[in-house]
Amino acid sequence: MPAVRLSRLRKDNPTRDWISEVLLRPKDLIQPYFVVGGKRIDRPVRSLPGVSHLSIDKLLKDMDGARKRGIKSVLLFGIPGTKDKIGAEAYKKNGIVQKAVKEIKKNFKDIIVITDVCLCGYTAHGHCGIFKERGTGGGRQGYIIDNDKTLKALTKIALSHAASGADLVAPSAMMDGQVRSIREGLDKNAFENTGILAYSAKYASNFYGPFREASDSGPQFGDRKGYQMDPRNSNQALREIREDIKEGADIVMVKPALSYLDIIYRAKEKFNVPVAAYNVSGEYTMVEGYIDSISHPIPQGYGPRTKSGILVRGGAGSAERMELRKNIVLEILTGIKRAGADFIITYWAKEAAKWLRL
């Protein structure tokens, strides 16, 4: 007979809930939004099922619903009407993100507003920095990114967001020194209380495809391997995180989440700052696609089946199928938190918050 029966602490739901080590809460989740100009716009993003481009009026309505479910923070991405080679629209006083932040702050006093600070969605070439006209590299012969000139642009963007009322700015361009430049700029302009959530370990991942369509930010040539992290490296990620903390980051981020749970774990173990993780678009669409196309046997109670036990394809609206989807999503988000993430940016935030409150 076994001397130790660990299954005693797994015998029923009350016991399992009582001893659980990880508690996923709605306030841990950050809802990303893609904001566009105009009114009454709710335009579904083809590559991201369940996600839309929203005009500010629709954004406010959606945020009100998210807030009622317990979501405490949002991350804004702007979809500009015009682009140029330096991304000047990104730091205009009346740009789409700047307008959205002002309206959010007018309507919701208890929502933490985080704004993405980058150039890729605003430049005609889709890269995260401003190009020099000479040299080689940067993904296209004859062009290299001017890191230091880009820092000035990123700082201007951050200042415009802070002036609009953003609680935190989130530099995602992966330029060397971006956190220091932004922190100094904020402090010099009396925005010392505006925080920085740094995309510190942002990998050159293949899981960004649907997001790039949603944000209209895909590079028109080359790739971003010259400035984003190499997926083969982990120690360099810790160096990036360490430098960002030294430069003034209040929160650091690992992106993507699922393929880099080890980086989340190491960051949380090594550094005494909050860690955010981005559950990115490719991770999201893998699950959505899986749920929509299941055609193999699954456990009893998880969906309509043929007599042979094969799940009926295309029954995405069935309660059983949605229950399976819910369980998968919560397992993923719990795993990211278990790895060490304090906050999780996820397109499932609103839905997960609803499930967690039931």
269-to-243, 325, 334 alpha-carbon distances in Å = 16, 31, 18
| 3-class SS letters over 303-356 | CCECCCCCECCCCCCCHHHHHHHHHHHHHHHHHHHHHCCCEEEECCHHHHHHHH
pLDDT at 5: 87
Q: Could you give the CA distance from residue 257 to residue 273 in angstroms, rounded to a whole number?
A: 17
**Domain range annotation of the chain:** 20-286+340-357
Q: Cα 20 to chain center, whole Å? A: 26
- State pTM to two decimals: 0.89
Query: pLDDT tens, 303-314?
Result: 444 444 444 444
Residues designated catalytic: 202, 255
First to last CA, the chain: 40
DSSP string computed for 330-341: HHHHHHHHHHT-
Query: pLDDT tens, 172-213?
Result: 999 999 999 999 999 999 999 999 999 999 999 988 877 656
Positions of the chain with pLDDT under 50:
135-142, 303-316
> What H or E segment, with its residue span, contains residue 115?
strand 112-117
- For the domain covering 20-286+340-357, report its CATH number: 3.20.20.70
Task: Give the 3-state secondary structure of residue 82.
Answer: coil
